[in-house]
Amino acid sequence: MRYERLIYIILAVVMLLFGCISLFYYMKALQNDVRIDQVHSQEKRDFHFVLIPQETDNDYWRLVEKGAREAEETLDVAVEYNGPKKTSVSEHIEWIEKAIASKVDGIITQGLDEEMFAPVINKAIDKGIPVITIDTDASSSKRSAYVGTDNYQAGFLAGLALIEDTGGKANVGIITGSFEARNMQLRVQGFRDAVQEAPKVEILDIKASNITRIQAAEKADEMISKYSGIDAFFGTSALDSYGIASTVQQRGRTEGVYIIAFDTLPETIQLIRDGIIDATVVQKPYKMGLESVKLLTQIGRGETVEPIHHTGTDILRREDLTKKEPSPYYLEGSQ
Ligand code: BGC
């Protein structure tokens, strides 16, 4: 009797152990596959691509996704939109690694920091997976092509617009998304080079927002406290101007402060309409999504594609809104 009980106990322990081991490996497999089950279940599609932005929970990137979805509809491809919810280089690279492990047919992602991103991009290419850099290029990598803004030119345009709108006299604070991201560095460099031509435009300070409106607001506030003569701001990423605008409003400085923003998200458009933001650099995120999926499809079909596809930039001011509104061009950049 005692002996029988012992056998039962041993059996129960062994079964429990087996259960735990199976669960462990099942969870591990889930982690390693970028929803590979979902990607590969859409077997009828010719290609399965993954779009990995630096931050999925961001309206700018939702527009890129929207463009990619339009291409998905018209071409026989499946596009998965996945990546870090909030910007994080290490997580971003992990997502690219997972896409490589899942053997997707193509990857669309940013080349935010050449040194960090080039190795993983090259790894994908070496495994036969084409990679399109979008929004931010990693030109030293083996990426198949770049689709997006000419970021230096965009920053230069912002500088010229500020000179024109302020009569060439301004004390500027720059809020940039990140000091490490290549697109931000190029925008700031372009801006600096443009305003160098105007002796009365001075850049007082530059601080990073980590692409969040909260940090942009904090940094703008610090600058206003530190520099009494500050009378202009340049926000180099999509949400920076929201933060700058809210600080300027809270400080009751809307009249005396010139703001030039980046992007044409609905809140930016509203702030331009309200006269809080003076101008913005138009990018074409929707077009970037659309074009990158089209290009990957062409590559997948064995076609040769050009390496650089600039999607175009422009400056938008309040008077342009009244002239051209309502226009999907500015809201989605689809034309
Ligand atoms: C940039 C993106 C960035 C986004 C952040 C855009 O202006 O082009 O690289 O992720 O701002 O909100």
Q: pTM of this prediction?
A: 0.86
Q: State the pLDDT at residue 33.
A: 45
Q: Does residue 109 come out as left (phi exceeding 0), alpha (psi in the -120 to 50 range) or beta?
A: beta
What's the pLDDT score for residue 4? 74
Residue with tokens 């056998």: 7
CA 146 to ligand 1 centroid distance, Å: 16
Residue 43's pLDDT is 52
Best substitution site from 57, 182, 211 to test ligand 1's pocket, by max atoms within 8 Å of Cβ?
211
Instruction: Report the nearest-CA residue for atom 12 of ligand 1.
Output: 238
- Average pLDDT score, the chain: 90
Q: Which residues line ligand 1 (CB under 6 A)?
A: 54-55, 58, 60, 135-136, 177, 183, 211, 237-239, 262-263, 283
Q: What is the pLDDT of residue 21?
A: 58
Mutation test residue for ligand 1: of 183, 188, 280, 314, the one with most atoms within 8 Å of CB? 183
Tokens of 224: 């206003």
What is the C-alpha to C-alpha distance for residues 101 and 18, in angstroms, rounded to an integer? 27
**Secondary structure E strands in the chain:** 47-52, 77-81, 106-109, 131-134, 145-148, 170-176, 201-208, 232-235, 258-262, 279-282, 308-310, 314-317
Encode pLDDT of 197-206 as tens digits: 999 999 999 9
Name the token pair of 177.
């998304």
Instruction: Read off the tokens for 254.
Output: 């809307």
Task: Please list the alpha-helical segments (H only) found in 127-259.
Answer: 151-166, 182-195, 213-226, 240-250
304 C-alpha to ligand 1 centroid (Å) = 29
- 120 CB-near residues (< 8 Å, 6+ apart): 93, 96, 97, 100
Nearest CA to ligand 1 atom 9: 135
Mean pLDDT by 10 residues, the chain (335 residues): 68 66 52 46 76 97 96 94 97 98 98 97 98 98 98 98 98 98 98 97 98 98 97 98 97 93 95 96 96 97 97 94 57 47
Q: What is the pLDDT of residues 28-73, one digit of tens each?
A: 444 444 444 444 444 568 899 999 999 999 999 999 999 999 999 9
